[in-house]
């Protein structure tokens, strides 16, 4: 296994050890990693809740990126809440495709919590992470073959800040992890959960920034636009034609001359309101020129008034009487021209930089979001693909549930157990379709499930792809 990866398992084990974490591939940089403990003053884990995270840090000079999963677990002889067991895959100075990482992480984590020497009915059976029984994911070696470059700019700032995203993990997790690089420059850790309980807890505590999936995607689009603007500004500053034309640009009056030059026309074509802005700009310039022409006419003839309430004409010295400076209409026209000129200059600056004004690059605000729904959004679960061809044989069922008590356990726990013990027939095919597999399992064994819990001592119809 490459020295660029390490596998971690951790948990809260109560007295006397408390939180402990163990590294199983012995990467020399791992012992410099920060704790994967949760700050329960800001975020906590509940039974049946799912919580993932991506975290950046620098460990012993190496740039580390960690993908982590948390599950609720009670300490021995304790009923206190917020305790957990977790696992992580950490990359040093590299990264990998997120779907493959999460597939390996899910298998590694499911194996740990399905092993009854580790945990039974959400109660930890060991007192230290060193005692956990772990097995390497079967596709762990594939991570070495799918490395990708790590964005070093993410590690330029350490803000000790945290973001929590409420989303649909089954359909959005992989995509959101791929996009999270845009926000890791502002946050050290980003958590993802589909638990209403966790979401409401985070909002109530108010220590971590909280957003929903729509806000997350909107913020990503802002960051992408900001990067485009940054590249555009760099291109503009390096282009000599911009500096040459910059001083004469306000004097150009024709549409061809007002349209952005070749160096930036491709950028503005991306904006949906480009044509509207240029048209409005040209109209403004046209009006400006018309007023300038009117002002010229005023300077060549003394205006007359038919206003009966105007004061009678008073003689002034010849040099003042013949001067345009003595014209009221001149001063009024000049004021209008000056106002339009200032407006025109401001409009030019707005047109050039309006994307910046509407696309702030500041960090996500921690303003309270819209109220969280009382229940997670219902997502239609597609059927298993491919459809199961058979069911497990009796001897395979006996092996799957050997030394395991499934009665009163949750459907998710039983699915994790089935996946952990049947990697060839089930996990290799349905490893990324746990919600669909769970639905199929309940459908084939309706008499054994009630309120998402198993009420039987065994299951007879376990779908298999082989």
pLDDT at residue 317 in the model: 40
DSSP H/E element including 21: strand 19-23
Q: Are 30 and 90 in contact (CB under 8 A)?
A: yes
Burial (CB count within 10 angstroms: exposed 0-12, middle 13-18, buried 19+), residue 243: exposed
Residue among 377, 374, 379 nearest 200 (CA) = 374
pLDDT at residue 369 in the model: 52
Cα 316 from Cα 82, distance rounded (Å):
92
Q: How far apart are the first and last CA of the chain?
A: 30
List residues bridging with 119 in a β-sheet.
Answer: 124
Q: How far is CA 93 from CA 4, 58, 150, in A?
A: 7, 9, 6
pLDDT at residue 465 in the model: 82
List residues bridging with 59 in a β-sheet.
Answer: 62
pTM of the model: 0.56
| Helix/strand/coil percent split, the chain, to 5 | 45, 15, 40
Say whether 141 sits in a helix, a strand or coil. Answer: helix
Give the model confidence (pLDDT) of 376-413 as tens digits. Answer: 444 567 788 888 888 988 888 988 888 788 988 888 88
Give the model confidence (pLDDT) of 249-265 as tens digits. Answer: 444 444 443 333 333 43
Q: Are 86 and 9 in contact (CB under 8 A)?
A: yes
Cα 35 from Cα 275, distance rounded (Å):
54
Residue among 179, 177, 214 nearest 192 (CA) = 177
Six-digit token string for 32: 């410099």
Residue among 160, 150, 213, 147 nearest 181 (CA) = 150
Q: Are 45 and 30 in contact (CB under 8 A)?
A: no
Rg (CA), the chain: 33
pLDDT at residue 351 in the model: 55
- Taking the chain (466 residues) in runs of 10, the rounded mean pLDDT of each run is 85 92 93 95 94 95 96 91 95 93 95 94 94 94 88 81 95 92 90 96 95 93 82 71 52 41 42 58 67 61 40 40 50 64 61 45 47 51 84 88 85 88 85 87 92 89 87
């Amino acid at each position: 296994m490459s020295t660029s990866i390490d596998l971690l398992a951790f948990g809260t084990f109560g007295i006397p050890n408390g939180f402990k974490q163990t590294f199983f591939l012995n990467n020399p940089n791992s012992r410099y990693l920060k704790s994967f403990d949760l700050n329960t003053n800001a975020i906590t884990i509940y039974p049946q809740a799912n919580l993932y995270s991506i975290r950046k840090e620098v460990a012993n000079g190496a740039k580390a990126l960690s993908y982590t999963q948390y599950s609720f677990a009670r300490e021995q002889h304790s009923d206190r809440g917020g305790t957990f067991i977790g696992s992580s895959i950490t990359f040093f100075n590299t990264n990998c495709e997120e779907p493959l990482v999460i597939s390996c992480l899910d298998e590694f984590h499911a194996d740990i919590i399905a092993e009854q020497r580790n945990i039974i009915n959400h109660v930890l059976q060991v007192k230290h992470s060193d005692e956990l029984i772990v097995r390497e994911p079967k596709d762990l070696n594939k991570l070495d073959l799918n490395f990708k470059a790590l964005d070093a700019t993410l590690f330029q700032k350490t803000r000790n800040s945290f973001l929590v995203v409420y989303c649909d993990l089954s359909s959005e997790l992989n995509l959101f992890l791929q996009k999270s690089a845009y926000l890791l420059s502002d946050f050290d850790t980003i958590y993802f959960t589909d638990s209403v309980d966790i979401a409401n807890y985070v909002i109530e505590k108010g220590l971590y920034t909280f957003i929903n999936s729509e806000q997350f995607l909107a913020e990503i689009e802002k960051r992408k636009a900001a990067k485009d603007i940054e590249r555009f500004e760099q291109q503009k500053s390096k282009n000599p034609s911009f500096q040459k034309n910059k001083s004469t640009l306000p004097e150009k009056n024709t549409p061809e001359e007002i349209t952005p030059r070749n160096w930036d026309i491709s950028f503005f074509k991306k904006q949906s309101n480009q044509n509207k802005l240029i048209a409005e700009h040209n109209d403004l310039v046209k009006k400006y020129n018309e007023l300038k022409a009117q002002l010229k006419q005023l300077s060549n003839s003394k205006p007359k008034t038919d206003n009966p309430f105007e004061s009678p004409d008073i003689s002034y010295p010849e040099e003042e009487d013949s001067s345009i400076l003595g014209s009221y209409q001149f001063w009024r026209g000049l004021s209008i021209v000056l106002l339009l000129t200032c407006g025109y200059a401001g409009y030019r600056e707005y047109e050039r930089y309006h994307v910046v004004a509407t696309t702030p690059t500041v960090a996500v605000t921690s303003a309270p979001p819209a109220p969280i729904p009382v229940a997670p959004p219902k997502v239609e679960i597609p059927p298993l693909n491919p459809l199961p061809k058979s069911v497990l044989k009796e001897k395979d069922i006996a092996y799957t549930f050997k030394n395991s008590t499934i009665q009163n356990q949750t459907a998710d726990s039983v699915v994790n157990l089935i996946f952990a013990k049947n990697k060839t027939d089930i996990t290799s095919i349905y490893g990324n379709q746990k919600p669909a597999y769970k639905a199929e399992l309940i459908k084939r064994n309706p008499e054994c499930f009630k309120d998402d819990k198993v009420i039987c001592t065994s299951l007879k119809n376990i779908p298999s792809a082989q």
